Amino acid sequence: MKLQHVPTKADILEAHNIIRSHIHHTPLLKSEMMNQMAGASLWFKCENFQKAGAFKSRGALHAMLQMTAEERSKGVATHSSGNHAGALARAAKVLGTAAHIVMPNNAPSAKVSAVRQYGGNITFCEPTLSAREQTLGEIVEKTRAEEVHPYNNYDIIAGQATAALEAINDLPDPDFILCPVGGGGLLSGTLLSAKYFSPKTRVIACEPLGANDTWKSFQTKSLIPSQNPKTIADGLLTSLGSRTFPIIMENVYDVITVEEEEILRAMKLVWERMKIIIEPSSAVPVAVALQNHDFLKNRKIVIIISGGNVDLNKLPWYA
């Protein structure tokens, strides 16, 4: 991690400059039908169309481009069973170095093949946090690769911030941004971009009720990790970290939770009406918009669609 402080305005602009040739400037889509249902003007920032299918490509590339060529040549390493794994493997491939990915032996096969496809070196381990950390430690010791944490890392946060930066550039002065929250990397970056580039915009954290550590932490003003979180929004099972929690506490307007059926309904609705594939985590802020809160009525709202990586053979409505 190069940045040793909460990313500044200049850090985020610089992050966007150095990653932009390696990522997509994703579109802001809208749908008349969704607007009618929500009673508001919704703009979907489509990171499902991002490289490797998720916003994670932004942070992974930024973290790697912050390293010197020599550091980068030793490769990068992480443990992840999700989109960060694929994004880091792709970033390493693009930049011509190795990615060592520790994955639990119960990781979804779609995620494993994504990492394989980008040429990542996978090491499987038992599906416990301690096994993951220990295996990663051994690999880092052996290879001298640099560990890139998926969210508790300022380089990552500055990279993820570029999604909201683009949205604000494309659609000035939104009233609200609805953003999903898991470990808080995307949310922290979104909060910082709103603060620096669109200070009147309010950012709402959107979280599954079954993994509501952010809601609890926000209510109690103390970092309370989830115990046994459970949700179909598999990207949001993680809890906030020591670097994301303070940024969120200081800047978030509110934290709103949604139930599992709401997530499922919102996901299916977007597939049916907008003809785009979004993953369950991305359906969480959509579900918040569909709760028809009075304060969102007729407002201009950006929804961060975090990704579109789903296993088409295991769709939740067939479960």
Residues in touch with a copy of itself (CB under 8 A)? 27, 48-49, 53, 268, 271-272, 274-278, 308, 312-313, 315, 317-318
Q: Enter the tokens of residue 164.
A: 């909201």
* Shortest distance (Å) from residue 315 CB to a copy of itself: 7
If the CB atoms of residues 84 and 90 are measured against a copy of itself, the closer one turns out to be 90
Tokens of 302: 């950006």
The answer to whether 277 touches 316, Cβ cutoff 8 Å, is: no
Rounded least distance, CB 317 to a copy of itself, Å: 7
| Closer to a copy of itself by Cβ: residue 30 or 230 | 30
Question: Which residues are CB-contacts of 94 (< 8 A; sequence separation ≥ 6)?
Answer: 22, 61
Nearer Cβ to a copy of itself, position 120 or 241? Answer: 120
10 or 312, CB closer to a copy of itself? Answer: 312
Is the distance from CB of 120 to CB of 136 less than 8 angstroms?
no
Kindly tell me which of 57 and 244 has the beta carbon lying closer to a copy of itself: 57
Tokens, residue 283 = 């359906």
φ, ψ dihedrals at 90, nearest 5°: -65, -45
- To a copy of itself, the closest distance from the beta carbon of 130 in angstroms equals 33
Minimal distance, residue 53 CB to a copy of itself, in Å: 7
Cβ at position 151, least distance to a copy of itself in Å: 23
Integer Cα distance of 187 and 179 in angstroms: 6
d(CA 19, CA 30): 26
- How far is residue 217's CA from residue 205's CA, in Å, rounded to a whole number? 12
